[in-house]
Amino acid sequence: MSSIPVFVGLDYHKESVHVCVVDAQGKQLANRKCANDWTKIERLVRRHGMPRRVAIEACTGAAHLADELISRAGWPVRLAHPGYVSRLKQSPDKSDYSDSRLLADLERVGYLPPVWLAPDDVRELRRVVRYRQQLVAERRNIKLRVSALLREQRVLLSGSAWSKGWRHCITSLPEFSEQASWIVNRQVARLERLEEDIRQVEERLRQITQNDGLVAKLLEQKGIGLITAVTIRAEIGRFDRFRNGKQLARFCGLSPRNASSGQRQADAGLIKAGNPQLRVALIETAHRLLRYEARWSDLGGQLLARGKPKCVVIAAIANRWIRGLHHQMTSLATAA
């Protein structure tokens, strides 16, 4: 085994990993496919030297392999942002050989666009949070299908939609055709099972975060409930990994994108960044703050009076709120 410092790029796939090893001068020492097993990857790399920095492109399964290489092999592994890495390619061609070489070279020259590797407990929380999001999306789709069927059958109902009484009513409507009635009954039964599943998931979230200090601090904030708190915890993880609130707001997709050129100065809407469900949770929080909090109601009123659209006002409130939350949470962490 050599003790020469080397830089490693790993192009991840389900069955295999393409491994590229380069030295400090950029000379390629190895570039070939290896089994998706951290022991075999370590054995291959150690033939050529000691890994000084290792890069792997963020994708499904990559974080687990990175965690193994860090904890078991003791390697300094970083996840790379796949979108930014693709922009740094100097060729339109794509292959595992060139991708792993690019990752190794970016690490060697210090240009790798890194992604935070969340610890295992945060990744576990993300799984449960995103599972709930899938169930909620499925519930929404069922409601849309039933509503479409009501319109198709030209049925108009009064009362509170989707209440127990309303659901019982639509399962026994004489206006429905035979097949429409059969479909609606199955959809309503499926909806009730989904809602029970969602309640169980929310109870699970409450149990696994009951000793989480950050979630407890978030729940003390006005306008934040359990779901918003665990979503922020799962997707942001730690507030102190961001240098300032502005950087956090950009991560959450709450900052306007600059589209200026020459004498033209313009914004192009919110930047497309971060987890979309996190942005949804923060936008919903901004709606609650605008409605119930005097400080944010005053700000919203001032922006509306200046002719700003309601959607822009909500995004501005969410942006300022998350930036203030960053300052508050990092200050508490420093004090502790």
User: 148: exposed, middle or buried (C-beta count within 10 Å: 0-12, 13-18, 19+)?
Assistant: exposed
Cα 2 to Cα 18, 29, 48, distances in angstroms: 21, 12, 6
DSSP summary character for residue 264: B
Best CATH choice for the domain 5-115 from the list 3.30.420.40, 3.50.50.60, 3.60.20.10, 3.30.499.10: 3.30.420.40
Q: Can you give the residue ranges of every domain in the chain?
A: 5-115, 120-208, 214-335
Average pLDDT of the segment spanning 152-181: 83
Task: Choose between 240 and 331: higher pLDDT.
Answer: 240
What is the DSSP annotation of 124-188?
HHHHHHHHHHHHHHHHHHHHHHHHHHHHHTT----S-TTSHHHHHHHTT-TTS-HHHHHHHHHHH
pTM (2 decimals)?
A: 0.86
pLDDT for 336 equals 44
- Mean predicted lDDT score pLDDT of the chain: 90
pLDDT grade, residue 268 (50/70/90)? low
Tokens representing residue 86 in the block: 């693709």
What is the DSSP annotation of 69-118?
HHHTS---EEEE-HHHHHHT-SSS---HHHHHHHHHHHHHHT---EE---
Which of 127-131, 150-154, 182-186, 292-296 is least confident?
150-154
Whether 304 has a pLDDT exceeding 90, the answer reads yes
Whether 221 has a pLDDT exceeding 70, the answer reads yes
Report yes or no: 251 and 282 within 8 Å, Cβ to Cβ. Answer: no
